[in-house]
Amino acid sequence: MKGIKRILLIGGPGSGKTTLIKYIESQGLLVHHEISREVIKEAQEKGIDQLFLTDPMAFSNNLLAGRIAQFKNAINGLNFYDRGIPDVPAYHLFTGDPIPAEYITACQEHEYDMVFYLPPWKEIYESDNERYETFEQAVQISDILINYYRKFNYNPIEIPVGAIEERFTFLNNQIKD
Give me the residue spans of the domains in the chain: 4-176
Axis crossing angle, helix 56-72 with helix 101-109, rounded to the nearest 10: 20
User: Half-sphere exposure of residue 96, counting CA atoms within 13 Å on the CB side?
Assistant: 1
Q: Distances in Å between the alpha carbon of 141 and those of 32, 55, 78, 144?
A: 21, 19, 27, 5
Written as one letter, the residue type at 26 is: S
* Full-model pTM: 0.88
State the pLDDT confidence band at 48, using cuts at 50, 70 and 90. confident
pLDDT 10s digits, 112-156? 999 999 988 666 556 655 556 676 777 888 899 999 999 999 999
Provide DSSP, 74-104. Answer: --SEEEEEES-TTHHHHHHHHHT----HHHH
> Can you name the CATH fold of 4-176?
Rossmann fold (3.40.50)
pLDDT digit string, tens, across residues 19-34:
999 999 999 999 999 9
